[in-house]
């Protein structure tokens, strides 16, 4: 990121800012970390990131479509060229057969390229959130290549 003079923005739901915290734990992160959006509610996703309410209504907050829109919105609402977005079910409640506890959708925007993927993590709420942070950052490093 430093070589390319790029900035990072995070858009987080189920992690509640833990990805941004992990980034800013690193000394010197102010050179590449721009901002973090904690968009836990659907209203926050809409008002802060521009995620269409109709998109959330039709696919649900925990969906590929919303994760992608969150990543796009983080870049659109900041000077960042890179974004990571997460939306999932951390548990212990809130899961369903279609969207079980531990299911997390990721959206990544890197210099105009949008990627998304889903992971399922086991364990309690803390374990799901920690695994989400770890996966988000590892995958982002891979995409930055």
**Residue range 34-83, pLDDT digits in tens:** 999 999 999 999 999 999 999 999 999 999 999 999 999 999 999 999 99
How far apart, in Å, are the Cα atoms of 1 and each of 4, 21, 65, 83, 89?
Answer: 5, 18, 26, 12, 30
The answer to whether residue 2 sits within a structural domain is no
The answer to whether residue 134 sits within a structural domain is yes
How far is the C-alpha of 4 from the C-alpha of 94, rounded, in Å? 40
The answer to whether residue 126 sits within a structural domain is yes
Q: Given this model, what pLDDT does residue 56 score?
A: 98
How far is the C-alpha of 145 from the C-alpha of 140, rounded, in Å? 9
Tokens of 112: 């105009």
Q: Given this model, what pLDDT does residue 54 score?
A: 98
Q: Given this model, what pLDDT does residue 125 score?
A: 98
How far is the C-alpha of 72 from the C-alpha of 95, rounded, in Å? 26
Residues of the chain above pLDDT 90, percent: 99
The answer to whether residue 3 sits within a structural domain is no
Closest CA to 15 of 43, 35, 37: 37
Q: Given this model, what pLDDT does residue 101 score?
A: 97
Q: In the chain, how many domains are there?
A: 1
The answer to whether residue 29 sits within a structural domain is yes
Give the chain's mean pLDDT. 97
Q: Which domain holds residue 49?
A: 8-144
The answer to whether residue 1 sits within a structural domain is no
Mean pLDDT throughout 78-95? 97
Residues of the chain above pLDDT 70, percent: 100
Report residue 120's pLDDT band, with 50, 70 and 90 as the boundaries: very high
Residue 119, domain CATH: 3.90.950.20
């Amino acid at each position: 990121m430093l070589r390319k003079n790029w900035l990072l923005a995070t858009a987080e739901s189920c992690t509640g800012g833990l990805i941004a915290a992990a980034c800013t734990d690193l000394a010197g992160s102010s050179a590449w970390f721009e901002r973090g959006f904690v968009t836990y509610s659907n209203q926050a996703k809409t008002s802060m990131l521009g995620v269409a309410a109709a998109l959330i209504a039709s696919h649900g907050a925990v969906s590929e479509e919303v994760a992608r829109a969150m990543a796009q919105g983080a870049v659109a609402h900041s000077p960042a060229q890179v974004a990571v977005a997460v939306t999932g079910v951390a548990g212990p409640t809130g899961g369903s057969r279609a969207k079980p506890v531990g299911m997390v959708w990721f959206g990544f925007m890197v210099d105009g390229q949008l990627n998304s993927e889903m992971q399922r993590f086991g364990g309690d709420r803390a374990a799901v959130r920690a695994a989400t942070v770890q996966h988000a950052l590892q995958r982002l490093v891979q995409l930055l290549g």
